[in-house]
Amino acid sequence: MLAAAVPFRSPAPAILLAGLLLSMPSMAAAQQAPSPEKIEEALATELPENPAALIAVVGQSPILLGDLMPKIDRRLQMVEEQQGRPLTEEEIKYGRVNMLRGLLQQAIQAKMMGEAFLLKQAGTQGADKRAEVQKMMHSRARKLFYESQVPHLMEKLELTELTELDERLRSQGSSLESQQREFVDSMLGRMYLNEVVDQDPKITIFEIQEYYDGHRDEFRQAAQAKWEQLTVRFDRFDSRQEAAEALAAMGNEALFGGNMQAVAKKKSQEPFASAGGFHDWTQRGSLVSKRLEDQIFALPLNKMSPFIEDEVGLHIVRVLDRKEAGLRPISEVQDEIREKLRKQRIAESEERLLADMQSKVPVWSIFPEDVQGAMPLERTAAKETQQQQR
């Protein structure tokens, strides 16, 4: 099925391309740079050329090469624009194979959930009932797509006509039809997840306490402080005396006006001046100026400090609050733990659901090794399956 026909050359271009592709916002998760063996495998993979070629079948739903390849080619074009040069044949080949495998895996999972949802709705009834349920659910999803998604897309792209929207989407490697298809698959999948997986599992106080006791290192914190700051830089004055006089004037204005942040916005010379010299919770050990940091973690709260001098300049600070180093109390972190356990419980349920779907929904793919339980889709089988779908 996947014949080795392309000779392997230097892996460097493909590795470069892999890094670029993985940095694209649309790629789901960070991956490690591919090994030379993986690159050679990708370059030796023969992909179909016809957009109508069948590359996977999920239950009774086909996935065609043309469903995914325009998006891939658009991404490759974006990489070319980013690099300011044409990609080599090796880079294009590697990019197409690597991205196709990733997008196909996602598409298969989405269709698996849609197929499982339809099976659940139709129950043990015959093919006619399943077709009826499928038609009804797809009709509802398409209606929602045109009522909710299309107006949002039109507004975002500042368009008024559907033909204009389709043209713009095609220029981005998509189309109105493919957006609709993806929305329908996604919606059916979400409906299945919401119906089968409890999205708000109950987390008990005992479970929160147990997690806290077993993961105390997660909740240890360094000393922290937040403060307001006025600064003058030595490199902006002819002498230290002039810098000191400028800071004294700022300090007096803040003292008698009562507003350090207003003065900082107008006159301070440190990076946070535009934010009123306000420094939100900052861990001890993160400041470049050791002298300034030592004072921030020693001064009394809510009082303007004397001048603090370091290599950069002179500073006045008012420390607003501090937290000592140590273990955060459970009362402070219990909501954080509850949310972490909730997500973990949902992820475990979805993992079990996926395993259950794999036993109920048959999958054939040109990359069967990427989906657990999938069967290889040979080219002869693909043609037969495609004919059956007609």
14-68 confidence digits (pLDDT tens) = 445 555 454 444 444 444 567 788 888 888 888 888 989 999 998 888 999 988 9
Q: Is the pLDDT of residue 161 over 70?
A: yes
Q: What is the pLDDT of residue 25?
A: 40
**75-79 contact pairs (CB < 8 A, 24+):** 75/21, 75/24, 75/26, 75/99, 75/173, 77/173, 78/24, 79/17, 79/20, 79/21, 79/24
Question: What's the pTM value of the predicted model, to 2 decimals?
Answer: 0.55
CA angle 43, 44, 50 (to 5 degrees): 90
What contacts 299, CB < 8 A, 6 or more positions away?
A: 305, 317, 319
Q: Is the pLDDT of residue 195 over 90?
A: no
What contacts 48, CB < 8 A, 6 or more positions away?
A: 55, 65, 366, 379
- pLDDT bucket at 257, cuts 50 / 70 / 90: confident
Provide mean pLDDT across the span 353-362. 78
Name which of 26-40, 90-104, 241-255 the model is least confident about: 26-40
Provide mean pLDDT across the span 177-192. 79
Fold adopted by 223-324:
Chitinase A; domain 3 (3.10.50)
* 338 contacts 209 by C-beta, under 8 angstroms: no
Q: What is the pLDDT of residue 199?
A: 83
- pLDDT bucket at 310, cuts 50 / 70 / 90: very high
- For the sheet with 363-365, list strands across it: 61-64, 54-58, 363-365, 375-376
Q: Is the pLDDT of residue 7 over 70?
A: no
Q: What is the pLDDT of residue 186?
A: 78
> CB count, 10 Å around CB of 95?
22
Numbered ranges of CATH 3.10.50.40 in the chain? 223-324
Q: Is the pLDDT of residue 286 over 50?
A: yes
Provide mean pLDDT across the span 259-271. 95
The segment with the largest mean pLDDT, out of 8-17, 102-111, 292-301, 372-381, is 292-301
Provide mean pLDDT across the span 246-256. 94
- Rounded to an integer, what distance in angstroms lies between the CA atom of residue 14 and that of residue 3? 20
Q: What is the pLDDT of residue 71?
A: 87
Q: Is the pLDDT of residue 8 over 50?
A: no
Q: Is the pLDDT of residue 238 over 60?
A: yes
Q: Is the pLDDT of residue 388 over 80?
A: no
- Write b or e for each residue in 15-25: b if 16 or more Cβ atoms lie within 10 A of its Cβ, otherwise e: bbbbebbbeee
